[in-house]
Amino acid sequence: MPEDLTITRGFPDALRSEVALLYDAAFGPKLSIAIPNTHRRLKVLEQAFDPHHSFVALSGERVLGIAGFKTQSGAFTSGIGPALLRHHLGLLGSLRAVLVLALFERKLSPNELLMDGIAVSPSARGGGVGTTLLERLKQFSADDGYQTIRLDVINTNINARRLYERLGFVPTKTSHFGYLRWLLGFSGATTLQYCVKPTA
Ligand SMILES: CC(C)(COP(=O)(O)OP(=O)(O)OC[C@H]1O[C@@H](n2cnc3c(N)ncnc32)[C@H](O)[C@@H]1OP(=O)(O)O)[C@@H](O)C(=O)NCCC(=O)NCCS
């Protein structure tokens, strides 16, 4: 992990395209079902992100990681709505995207913080950046009075699941996608939950 690593809440507009690239490097394969064209997908992400619902890991000017979240006040990716999709994808493309993205939609319970994507730059993975971002999110959740942090991990992402369990997340539910497997590219996902320790 770089010595000058800093974690900040949000990021300036100048970093939007870099954050979109990083996010897409992690979630592009999944998002491409909704938005197959990489250039358009990056444009949508760049404009849709709400930085206030994220923490970023920076080394100097370089973005090494991003952790988006969703609370009652909004979500990191909440800007991915019909109007923005229509603007970039046209009518048919936006219809496809809206239908596919609806499959990924998750409801929020009161007092809960939902992870809205965590991604570390491929060259920085395995160096502790993801752990640092998750610890920051835990601290933020405690300070702001959330009781639980929830996330979903697909059943093929064994390494990420091990990381979450090491940090105290426990599995609560497994969903099987049945006939949707051919569309999504994975057959199931597990929900993990962390019980926030209140700030003393
Ligand atoms: C999952 C991810 C955010 C973890 O961040 P990180 O900085 O690599 O994590 P850390 O270095 O703090 O911790 C390393 C742990 O993450 C696991 N890990 C998950 N994916 C990894 C990867 N691609 N490379 C290296 N380590 C990875 C390691 O197995 C390690 O666990 P271990 O210590 O029990 O062996 C990051 O690897 C990533 O962006 N992966 C792609 C996107 C993704 O899967 N996001 C999560 C979706 S639920």
Most informative mutation of 104, 120, 136, 151 for ligand 1 (most atoms within 8 A of CB): 120
Q: For a substitution probing ligand 1, which of 55, 129, 153, 163 has the most ligand atoms within 8 Å of its CB? A: 163
For residue 12, the CA-to-ligand 1 centroid distance in Å is 25
> Average pLDDT for residues 134-138, to the nearest whole number?
98
Q: How far is CA 173 from CA 22, 69, 190, 191, in A?
A: 28, 20, 6, 5
Backbone angles phi, psi at 167, to 5 degrees: -90, 10
The whole-angstrom separation of Cα 151 and Cα 189 is: 10
Q: What percent of the chain has pLDDT over 90?
A: 82
Give the position, in ligand 1's atom list, of the atom nearest the Cα of 126: 11
- Mean pLDDT along residues 49-73: 96
Query: Given this model, what pLDDT does residue 1 score?
Result: 81
DSSP 8-state symbol, 74 = E
Q: Answer with the residue of higher pLDDT: 37 or 1.
A: 37
d(CA 58, CA 29): 25
The pLDDT, as a whole number, for residue 178 is 72
Judge contact between 21 and 119, C-beta under 8 A: no
pLDDT category, 110, cuts 50, 70, 90? Answer: confident
Encode burial over 18-44: b for 16+ CB neighbours within 10 A, e otherwise: bbbebbbebbeeebebbbeeeebbbbb
pLDDT at residue 175 in the model: 87
Q: Which of 155, 150, 151 is nearest to 181 (CA)?
A: 155
Most confident of 70-79, 95-104, 177-186: 70-79
Q: Which phi and psi angles does 116 have, rounded to 5°?
A: -120, 45
The reported pLDDT for the residue numbered 182 is: 67
The predicted pLDDT at position 172 comes to 96
Mean pLDDT of 144-150: 97
* Residue 30 confidence class, pLDDT cut points 50, 70, 90: confident
Residue nearest to atom 17 of ligand 1 (CA): 159
Convert the pLDDT of each residue in 148-186 to its tens digit: 999 999 988 999 999 999 999 999 999 887 766 766 777
Separation of CA 86 and ligand 1 centre (Å): 34
Atom of ligand 1 nearest to the CA of 153: 48
Fold of 5-195: Aminopeptidase (3.40.630)
Of all protein residues, the one whose alpha carbon is nearest to atom 26 of ligand 1 is 126
pLDDT at residue number 106: 85
Query: Is the model's pLDDT at 105 over the cut of 80?
Result: yes
Q: Stretch 137-148: mean pLDDT, rounded?
A: 97
- For the chain, give the mean pLDDT: 93
Gap from CA of 21 to ligand 1 centroid (Å): 17
Q: Which residues line ligand 1 (CB under 6 A)?
A: 26, 118-120, 125-131, 153, 157, 159-160, 162-163, 166
Domain ranges of the chain: 5-195
